[in-house]
Chain A
Amino acid sequence: AQSVAQPEDQVNVAEGNPLTVKCTYSVSGNPYLFWYVQYPNRGLQFLLKYITGDNLVKGSYGFEAEFNKSQTSFHLKKPSALVSDSALYFCAVRDKSGSGYALNFGKGTSLLVTP
Chain B
Amino acid sequence: NAGVTQTPKFRILKIGQSMTLQCTQDMNHNYMYWYRQDPGMGLKLIYYSVGAGITDKGEVPNGYNVSRSTTEDFPLRLELAAPSQTSVYFCASATPLAGSTDTQYFGPGTRLTVL
A and B: partners? yes
CB atoms of B58 and A43 under 8 A apart: no
Segment of B12-20, B43-51, B76-84 in the binding face: B43-51
Q: Check A46–B105 contact: CB distance below 8 A.
A: yes
Which chain A positions have C-beta within 8 A of B94? 101
Q: Which residues of A contact B35 (CB under 8 A)?
A: 105
Which residues of A are found within 8 Å of B42, using beta-carbon distances?
A: 90, 105-108
Considering the complex of A and B, which 10 residue pairs feature the smallest CB-CB distances, nearest first?
A105-B42, A100-B48, A43-B106, A44-B106, A43-B108, A107-B42, A105-B43, A101-B96, A32-B101, A102-B45
Interface CB pairs A-B, < 8 A, 7: A9-B40, A43-B108, A44-B43, A51-B101, A90-B43, A94-B101, A105-B43
Per the bound structure, the CA–CA distance linking A70 and B48 in Å amounts to 33
Q: Quick one: which of B46-71 are within 8 Å of A by CB?
A: 48-50, 56, 58-59
Contact indicator A102/B106 (Cβ below 8 Å):
no
Name A100's contact: one of B33, B90, B105 (CB within 8 Å).
B33
Instruction: Report the bound CA distance from A107 to B103 in whole Å.
Output: 19
Main secondary structure of the interface of A (DSSP, over half): loop
Please indicate the chain A residues that have their CB under 8 angstroms from the CB of B49 in the complex. 100
Which residues of A in the span 68-115 have a Cβ within 8 Å of any Cβ on B? 90, 94, 99-103, 105-108
- Interface residues of chain A, those whose CB is within 8 Å of chain B, are 9, 32, 34, 36, 42-46, 49, 51, 90, 94, 99-103, 105-108
| Closest-CB distance, A48 to chain B (whole angstroms) | 10
B50 near A100: Cβ-Cβ < 8 Å: yes
**Cβ-closest chain B residue relative to A36:** B106
Contact in complex: A99, B90 (CB < 8 Å): no
A49 with B101: CB separation less than 8 A: yes
Q: Determine if B56 and A100 form an interchain contact, defined as CB atoms under 8 angstroms apart.
A: yes
Beta-carbon nearest neighbor of B30 in chain A: A100
Interface string of B97-110 (1 = CB under 8 A from A): 00011011111110
Interface centre among B40, B43, B107, B109 (most CB of A within 10 A): B43
Known: A100-B33, A100-B49, A101-B31. Contact between A43 and B101, CB under 8 A?
no
